[in-house]
Chain A
């Protein structure tokens, strides 16, 4: 093997590494992970964990996104509470009760299953939701945050 071909292989290495990282992102996505997707048509969008947390707890972001959610007993919601919001379901329920009965804001609309939720955001521009990281993301939705570590 001459030096030239060795060098060629070495320059390929970063490309191979990038491809394998790309693969690993979905390979490493376990049942413990969630992705946050948005039906957003104004180009690229990445959000921080705090921005997502704010949005799902009643904050108003400049992007005009409306959050939609899953019911309290849903596993993906439990993971989202734990990994993104960082609050117990009890605290979240208390918070929304305070907001509702003081007439300030209302919690995100809830859908019974992930399939129903996915169907709704696919059809409704301007929505944002959390899904299991294993979910196949339809084309018109963009991933704005993920808990997947790789």
Chain B
């Protein structure tokens, strides 16, 4: 029913175009219907299994911009998801203050600008693929936060500079390697630097957050270990601390070709956050109204190692404690996947695009019905097909 409802609104919205109701009030929006299939039984990738499904990433959104005074405006974005694992509702809502053409401030519920497309992940129309490569745009980044940001935009000679700083908090669930967590994120802050020159654009950013991923069972175990003097073991189960992310990206666009590459690294001392490095490189060729592109993406993550300081063979209680401690690490598994994607985009109208991506995946694909976590050295290969229609209005 939800999918049908979405499809109906979707079709209606395709025939309207950015509506300027008056100079002070604008309604715009975007939508996508995306389907896909992973050609391998018993495994899943990005929510796709060996059964064609278009419910995972299909969505529809309306954005309303209203002018309050010459310098202050309000924006709200309502998002409807077909997927059951994401909540529909107000995705962002903020007040902005235009000090002048160069300097802007925003306050409210905002999107987190971790990577180049992080703040427009849902707007499939803006990027060439059906999904930005999962190896960089994995899910455990916080898509929105409550806080403030400031942007400064200036052109000097042939260069256009864009600087952004933000600060805020996040208190909602996130997915780490497919598992849901409810971390408390305070002091989330970051800096983004963008330079555009001719058809080249560079982006550098740094982000840091104080994360509390408290889980009672693990915290109890940690306290017990500390009480018995196994300080290193206790510390390896830490659930509160800083997570740092650094990103670098470059993109090039011309009438005939486009290329983009992005790299990111996430570091943390927290047990549930693996140290992660991901990157992709895309090359594309335009033959209007079509564009064809090829992408290679890779991901490398590792959790902290368990510490072997509990003596074995002295007392059965210690043997037991050691076994429980080690089993925590057995449940931490990474899913490093390498991918090769060939994609086609067809702009049938200035605001509607059709896309088809075929990917070859190699690495630790998660099992479809996960009762036991896959072992870290499990290696699989699979092909995946995705089809989509994207539009803006």
Residue ranges of A at the interface with B (Cβ–Cβ < 8 Å): 48, 50-51, 53-55, 57-62, 64, 72-73, 82, 86-91, 93-95, 97-98, 100-105
> Sorted from nearest, which 9 A-B pairs have the closest CB atoms?
A50-B158, A59-B155, A59-B160, A102-B119, A98-B126, A72-B350, A90-B347, A60-B101, A94-B126
> Quick one: which of B30, B101, B151 has the most chain A CB within 10 A?
B101
Residue ranges of B at the interface with A (Cβ–Cβ < 8 Å): 28, 30, 63, 75, 77, 92, 94, 96, 101-102, 106, 110-111, 113, 117, 119-120, 123, 125-127, 151, 153-155, 157-158, 160, 196-199, 253-255, 258, 286, 288-289, 291, 345, 347, 350-351, 353, 392
Given contacts A91-B286, A94-B127, A103-B75, 8 further A-B contacts (CB under 8 A): A60-B101, A87-B199, A90-B353, A93-B392, A97-B30, A98-B126, A102-B119, A103-B106
**A72: which B residues are within 8 A, CB to CB?**
350
**A60: which B residues are within 8 A, CB to CB?**
101-102, 153-155
**A104: which B residues are within 8 A, CB to CB?**
151
Determine chain B's interface SS by DSSP, over half rule: strand
- A63's nearest neighbour on chain B, judged by CB, is B155
Q: Are B125 and A102 in contact (CB under 8 A)?
A: no
Contact among B28, B157, B353 for A100, CB-based, below 8 A: B28
**B102: which A residues are within 8 A, CB to CB?**
60
Q: Are A102 and B113 in contact (CB under 8 A)?
A: yes
CB of A15 to closest CB in B, whole Å: 36
> Quick one: which of A58, A59, A86 has the most chain B CB within 10 A?
A59
> Quick one: which of A55, A58, A73, A82 has the most chain B CB within 10 A?
A58
Q: Are A102 and B111 in contact (CB under 8 A)?
A: yes
> Quick one: which of A61, A82, A89, A98 has the most chain B CB within 10 A?
A98
